[in-house]
Every structure is written in C-alpha cells, then in structure tokens.
Structure 1
Amino acid sequence: MPNVHAAPTLRRRRLGEALRNYRSAAGLSLDQAVERMEGSWDGPKLSRIENAKARISPKEVSVLLGEYGVTDPEIVAALEELARTAGRTGWWTAYGGAVPQHLQDTISAQDDAESIRQYHPTAIPGLLQIGAYAREITAATAFNLPPEEHAAIVEVRIARQAILTRPRNPVKYWAVIHESLLMQRFASHPSLMREQLRHLLDMADLPNVTIQVMPLTAGAHPGASGNLTITQFPKSWPALISVENRHDMRYQEDDAEETKLYGEYFDRIVASALPADQSRETIRKHMEGIGHEHHP
C-alpha cells in the first residue's frame, strides 16, 4: 500500500512531530536530512512522514535518529515502538460511529499514557463513572443521537476505564471534581448516586488514583474555564492538553510552554481543592446523606 495513504492517527502525528523536532534540533533541512539517507528517500516522503501522512518502519526510525544525533536508547526504543504501532487499530474502532475521531484520539492517547490529570466541574469524569451514571449522562447529553447508539457510547466509556486497573503499568490518575456533582440526584434511579459515590471511594483506594473535591466554598481558580485534561506519556513524548467548554474541545500537542502553563493551572486547582483525605470524608458524608434527605 503506498505511503501516501497512511492514516494520520494520533500515534503517527506524535511520531512525525518528534522526528521533525529532532531534525530541527540537529539543524538539518528536509533536503539535508534526505541526503543523509543516501538517496533512498526524497524530500516529499520525509515531509509526509513528519506530517503523519506516510508510514516509516522502526528500522528507518533508528537510522534517521542516528543521523540526527539521537542516541538515548530509551528515546530510540520509544520511537521505534511508536512506528511499529502507529497504524494499529484500537478496540474502540469496533464501535464505529459511536466513537468520533476526536474521541478515538483521546482514547488512543490515554491508552498510551503514563499519567492523566483532570478537572471536571460539569460531570463525574468518564474514567470514574459507573454504568448507571454513564447511561443517565449519555441520555441527557447525546439526546440528538438515536437511543440505540447510547448503549455503545456507554460501553466505550466503561471499557476505557481498564487503563486504571490493568496489571502492567496502570495509568496514574489524578482527578479533581466539584462538590456540586456529589449532590446530583436522578429521580428515575434514587440509589444511583449512592452507588456512584461508593465507586469513587473504591477507586480512591487504588494506589495509582487520587481524587480531590473542589468544595462549594472554593474561591475563583483557573478551573472556571471548563474541563481540563493533561495527558502525559513516558519519556520523549510531549504532553497532550485538552480543554473543553460548552462550545468545543481544543487539543494542544507538542507545546512546552502550553504544557507548563496548564500544569500551573492544575496546580492552582489542586491548591483550591480539599486534600485527598478530606475529599474522601466529603464524598462519604454525601453518600451517607442519600436516603435521609427527606426525613426529619
């Protein structure tokens, strides 16, 4: 299959960006880099690789990095692995239209992640939702889709959570959720929030999971701008930032300054939230209060 038909997957974009950055750091133009490959390539091919529109083999990655002076075996191995898996089809593709491209990118990134930090003021984060909560939220937010698609959306959301409990290298997850979400109620399912809050406490017991609560009394903080997710990868990969508000979702890749800025945003959000132990007690208090709200 010709290289030009390679799909610009998130993995392939990250690989292309990394190769372009290393070429730039070596002070080489596209033509100069091609000359180093001893005539086996041309400029357009390397340009397509860097723009995620062409494939590159792990062996070619190794040779190219050598020409760029990149010798760190950890970086070379990571880029070779990315080249090997760049076109891999994820389990989520089986769900077709229920997983739009931007969500496929998110799932793919989180599957590769080393750590994820999230602030969610509008709903319990998908990685922490139980099935019943996910169904209620999906029915409310995906009202424009046929009901038969809702089940697929929920299945995908629950399946994504495996990254937190997988036997090897579970993702380190740090979530800050707003206290108002602990007070949600669903008339059709009175016990739903008790089950959801119990699940939050169970997840907080995992050594790789930290959950904090933003109290109702918190003052102004950067989280007021909307949902924020910072996805970080093993060595050599730039972080992926996603900011979501009522109007759209914006992704930011390969920008050290933006990564630093949003890291500071999250630190300020964390500083405004309750510590983890107090957060657990707050979740427990709300959980135990469910069912007694209408009794004297």
Structure 2
Amino acid sequence: MNIRSRQLGERLLQRMAEKGWGVREMSRKLEMSAQWVSSVTRGHTNPSPVHLARFLTTLGFRGAEYRELMAMGDEIRKPGLLEKPLQLRTLIWHEERATAISQFHGSLVPGLLQTADYARSLISEIGNATEPDRIDELVFARMSRQVILDKQPRLAFEFFIHEFVLRLPVGRGAPEVMRGQLGHLARLADQHHISIRVVPAGCGGHPAMAGHFQLIESRDFTPVVYIDSEISSLFLEEPTDVVAYRRVLEGLDRTALDRAESKRFIAGLHQTGARRDADLA
C-alpha cells in the first residue's frame, strides 16, 4: 500500500458514499468479489487499468477527473511520489490522518508553526509571489493547514528547529514580525502535544545538516517522509528511507536542547527582542 493507492481508495469510497453504495452493491455492479472491492478501496490492491476504468465508469467519473484517477492508478506501482510544491493536497491528506509528525528545519520556522505575519514576510522576501492577492492566497493556504494543531490533540508533534532560524530577522524593517513569531512559538511550546526542540548553534555539525524534512506516521498507512524544495515536493516511503530519517531524528534528540531548555531559550530571545525594540522606540 503506497501513497497513491491510499488516495485512490479514498476517492472511490467518497463517490460510493455519495451514491449510497456499499461494498456489496459495488461488488454486484462490477461483478467482482466484495473482498476485491474492499481491498481496492482500502488501498491494498492495485487494480489493472481495465478494472480501474470499469470501476471509475460505473461510479460516473468523467473527463479530467477520470483521467486524473487513471493516472493515479498508473503511479501506484511507483515507490514514492514527486509533486509540484503548490500541490499540497497529498501533504494535507497525510497530516489529517497522522498520529505523529516529526520535523526538522534549519533555515525557516516550519509552516505549521508560522504566524500569518511571518508567513507573509517570508513569501514576499523570498520571491514566491509579488502580487498582493497571490500572497494572500498562499498565506491563507499555510494558515489553513494549522487547524490540525488544535483539531487533533491526539496527534503528537515534535519540531526540531535550529537556533539560526530563531535569530534570522524575517520581516525587513519590521522587528515585530519576529517578536510575534517567537511569542507564538513560546505559547505553542506550552501545549502538551507539541514538542519544540532547539538545536543550538554551539553544537556545530548535527545529524540533519543535509536539510529539512518531515516524518508523518499513522495507524492507517506506513510512515512517509516529506521533503520540499523550490520546484518540487518529494514523498519517500521505502522502508530504508524511513529508517534513515528515524536515525536522523534520534541524533537530533541527543543533540537538541530538551523541551524545558528550549522553552526558556525561545522565551529569552523573545524578551531580549522586546527590550531592544523598547529601547529603540
């Protein structure tokens, strides 16, 4: 079962639900066993192109949606998934079903932890967008993902953030942007299901120097590693890849400040920034 098989199965189940058809009814219409229908919709079986086409046609898929799902069926055989960075549907799909998310970032505050002002400044400064409407759209999309922080307290979050991230003055000429971001991180760190760990610059080299990543785990699917860049987003699900990133997280756990130390570190930076801004006022 891989990323695309899970997504395909869910799309089929959604359409079946809309039509009021259960597995048995779908089985009767396709003249296939109920076990086979159940296996496909749960993402455990990769249907042949002929069988998938029949499944989609029976459910009434047409046009672009039909072609999208047929292409998804072709990709099921491929381990991992490469997407364009703005196609966040796959990432959101996994985050909404996660039981644990572990993440490292060495240059930016992770998107799930960003304030709207930080996200807006960041998007504007790195040139992702220049038109106000487009910037608003990207900020809204980033903020919308953050609902999982409150909606799923059962979900355990662990964020490793390099000290450099906390000292990088995002928001040119607007120190209140970083002050607000640091205050937001301090408040989030007080929540029992959110662990924010600071990787101190004094440690020098560290296990995650190769770059940022996110490990997403769930009871519903095998672990997935998500890596994004300027032009693409990569999902890794091969067991050897997941094991490698687990080792990185274990190394970060040994290197980073613990939760209490990290909270004090972030609060100290926040207070220092507030005092400096007051002196300049």
Q: Give the distance between the partners of 1:169 and 1:191, measured in 2 at CA.
A: 29
| Contact kept in structure 2, 1:123 and 1:181, CA below 8 Å | yes
- Counterpart of 1:217 in 2: which secondary structure? helix
Q: What whole-Å deviation, never above 9, does each CA across 1:249-272 have from its counterpart, x for those lacking one?
A: 32112x222212211111112211
Correspondence 1:286 to 2:250: no
Gap change, CA 1:56 and 1:205, over 3 Å in 2? farther
Q: Give the distance between the partners of 1:275 and 1:145, measured in 2 at CA.
A: 39
Q: Give the distance between the partners of 1:49 and 1:276, measured in 2 at CA.
A: 53
Aligned-pair identity in percent equals: 23
Q: How does 1:159-178 map to 2 (within 5 A)?
A: 159-166=144-151, 169-178=153-162
- Counterpart of 2:225 in 1: which secondary structure? strand
Correspondence 1:205 to 2:201: no
Q: What whole-Å deviation, never above 9, does each CA across 1:94-130 have from its counterpart, x for those lacking one?
A: xxxx9832x2211111111111100011100011111
Instruction: Write the letter of the residue equivalent to 1:104.
Output: R
Unpaired runs of at least 5, structure 2: 13-30, 38-44, 59-71, 73-83
| Contact kept in structure 2, 1:225 and 1:245, CA below 8 Å | no
| Contact kept in structure 1, 2:103 and 2:213, CA below 8 Å | yes
Q: How does 1:47-58 map to 2 (within 5 A)?
A: 47-48=48-49
Q: How does the TM-score come out when normalised to structure 1? A: 0.65
Q: 2:142 aligns with which of 148, 154, 157?
A: 157
Q: Give the distance between the partners of 1:216 and 1:45, measured in 2 at CA.
A: 47
Instruction: Write the letter of the residue equivalent to 1:237.
Output: F
Gap change, CA 1:49 and 1:223, over 3 Å in 2? farther
Q: Give the distance between the partners of 2:123 and 2:189, measured in 1 at CA.
A: 24
Q: Look up the match of 2:227.
A: 243
| Contact kept in structure 2, 1:13 and 1:52, CA below 8 Å | no
Correspondence 1:232 to 2:217: yes
Number of equivalenced pairs: 225
Unpaired runs of at least 5, structure 1: 1-7, 17-34, 58-85, 87-97
Correspondence 1:12 to 2:8: yes
Q: Give the distance between the partners of 1:180 and 1:201, measured in 2 at CA.
A: 16
Q: Following TM superposition, by how much is the alpha carbon of 1:177 offset from its aligned partner in structure 2, in angstroms?
A: 0.6
| Contact kept in structure 2, 1:227 and 1:245, CA below 8 Å | no
Larger relative contact order (CA 8 Å, sep ≥ 6) = 2
Q: 1:182 aligns with which of 166, 170, 192?
A: 166
Q: Give the distance between the partners of 1:11 and 1:241, measured in 2 at CA.
A: 16
Gap change, CA 1:145 and 1:192, over 3 Å in 2? closer
Q: Look up the match of 1:113.
A: 98
- What do you get for the CA RMSD once the two structures are aligned? 3.7
- Counterpart of 1:195 in 2: which secondary structure? helix
Q: Give the distance between the partners of 1:118 and 1:13, measured in 2 at CA.
A: 27
Gap change, CA 1:54 and 1:176, over 3 Å in 2? farther
- Counterpart of 2:208 in 1: which secondary structure? helix
| Contact kept in structure 1, 2:85 and 2:231, CA below 8 Å | no
Q: Look up the match of 1:100.
A: 86
Q: How does 1:44-83 map to 2 (within 5 A)?
A: 46-48=47-49
- Counterpart of 1:210 in 2: which secondary structure? strand
Q: Give the distance between the partners of 1:53 and 1:131, measured in 2 at CA.
A: 45
